[in-house]
Every structure is written in structure tokens, then in C-alpha cells.
Amino acid sequence: MTTLSLGYSPCPNDTFIFYALVHKLIPLEGLSVQEQLADVETLNQRAFTGQMDITKISFHAFAYVREQYILLRSGGALGKGCGPLLVAGQGHSTIDLSRNRIAIPGELTSAYLLLRLYDPRIQNIIVMPFDKILDSLNQGIADIGLIIHESRFTYQQFGLQKVLDLGDWWEQYTGSPIPLGGIIMKRNFEKTVSLLMEEKIRQSIQYARMHPKEPRAYIRKHAQEMDDSVISQHIGLYVNEYSLDIGPEGEHAVRFLFSEAEKKGLIPRSAFDIF
């Protein structure tokens, strides 16, 4: 029996993906996992210190740990029409990213890397948990918010408006899906183990899709105050064909993201391949 520590977020897409795996509803073939749920920025930091055997990670953070981890081809968050948004109060008809106070969900998030690729002049950032950003705008703490996860479905309820869709910008610039987060595994495991883990994550997704009502209590438990309609939108947007397998298009998107960020000095170069 090979026991692996597994980290993922309490967001509906991750709890949907890993529900069957952690509840042993699929044959694990000699694998055993000990799950730890935490927000992605915390998981990013844990990967930096090598605490997790397998973990969800922002692609931005993955750029810094390519020497220790490989990317698995299943379980990730890539897609089209699902990118981070910049939002502001109704009075903001124009924005100046070089001067405005921008609330961001973490310096290692892929959202922040995309924002810096869009405009490298950004310097006045305020880091806070992603679920505090919308309130921070109404409280006058920040001028602009960089929002991710379920906030993209709820920002209008806060009286805010979209000023930039970074996903649309990325898709027009590259023609590729937006690489947000992936599942990584320590390099020191045998390839047979990593391939088996990829397949088990894929089977876990397929199980949840075949039994969509079954994971709901588990998802709702960790989604806290998110209502059912937002949960459904969240899963529908972030769990897609790239979650089953990153495929050539998704692989190209990740490699291009890293190449562009390396050229601009936003991430370190690495001699290690992503897989």
C-alpha cells in the first residue's frame, strides 16, 4: 500500500473532482490518500516546503517548484471563459493599473501572473483572501479587485462592475485555454505511481459525473455559504475536458504561459520539464 498526502481546495470544482477518490468509491489499486483541504494560496506555500506528495497548485506557483514536482495530466483547472476578472465600483469609468490600489488573492496565484503579463507596471497591490476582495472594494480599502473562483458569479450583487476580463485577453492573445491551476506530484515517485494517480483522478471525475447528486453534501459542507446555483455554475465552468486530460492544447497553454513569464522575468527559468 502506497499512502500519499493529497492537498486540494474546498472550492466546489476540487471537492467534486476528488470526492470519489477520497471516499474510496473507485478501486485504488494499492493507493491510499490522506487529504488536506486548504485554500490554494496555502497549498502553494506547502508545495514550496515540500509538505505534500500531491497537491493542487496555481500554475504561477508551480513555476517555482518544477525541480521538485511534475504536473499530472488530470484534475487541473484550465478552460475558456473562466479567467480572472478585474472589478470596481460603479463610479470607476477608467482605471490606471500603475496607480490604483488593486486587491489580489495572492502573489502566487495564476490570476496575479496573468495581470502582470497584461500590465507589468502594477505595483500598488493589497494581498487578501479571495473571498474578502469584494467587500474591500465597497469599504474603500482597494480601488480595483482581482477576483477568482465563485466571486466571478457574485460580484454584481455587491454593486460592482467588470472593468477587464483577463481570460478574454489571454484567449485573444494566445488562442489557448486559460491555465489556472493543476495537480502536481513529487518527482521522486516511480512513473507507474504517477500514471496510476492520473488515472484515479480521472476515474474520480467520471464517477462524480455519473452520480452528480451523490457528492453534493460533501461539496456543500466545504463550500460554506455558497448557494446551489453558484455551486453548479462553478463546477460547470472549472471541471471540463481539460480536467480529465490536459491534452495538447492545455499543455501548449501552460508551456506558453511559462515561456512568456520567463521572458519578462516574472518567474525563474527551469531546466526541468513540466511532466
Sign of the torsion formed by the C-alpha atoms of 128, 129, 135 and 137: positive
Q: Which domains, from first to last, does the chain contain?
A: 2-79+179-263 (3.40.190.10), 85-174 (3.40.190.10)
Mean pLDDT value across residues 214-236: 88
Return d(Cα 251, Cα 254) in angstroms, integer: 5
Return d(Cα 48, Cα 184) in angstroms, integer: 12
Outline where DSSP puts E strands in the chain: 2-8, 31-37, 54-58, 69-71, 77-79, 85-89, 102-104, 125-127, 144-147, 160-165, 178-186
Bridge partners, 159 (sequence order): none
Residue 224: pLDDT band by 50, 70, 90 thresholds?
A: low
Indicate the pTM of the whole model: 0.93
Residue 2: pLDDT band by 50, 70, 90 thresholds?
A: confident
* Lowest-pLDDT choice from 45-59, 180-194, 211-225: 211-225
Do residues 152 and 224 make contact, with C-beta atoms less than 8 angstroms apart? no
List, for residues 245-260, the tens digit of each pLDDT value: 999 999 999 999 999 9
Radius of gyration of the chain (CA): 18
Query: What does the pLDDT read at residue 80?
Result: 93
Query: What does the pLDDT read at residue 93?
Result: 65
Positions marked active-site: 149
Residue 94: pLDDT band by 50, 70, 90 thresholds?
A: confident
Residue 150: pLDDT band by 50, 70, 90 thresholds?
A: confident
DSSP per-residue letters across 76-113: -EEESS---EEEEETT-SS--TTTS-EEES-TTSHHHH
Measured between its terminal Cα atoms, the distance across the chain in Å is 24
Average predicted confidence (pLDDT) for the chain:
94
**Does position 176 have pLDDT exceeding 90, yes or no?**
yes
Residue 234: half-sphere exposure toward Cβ, Cα within 13 Å: 25
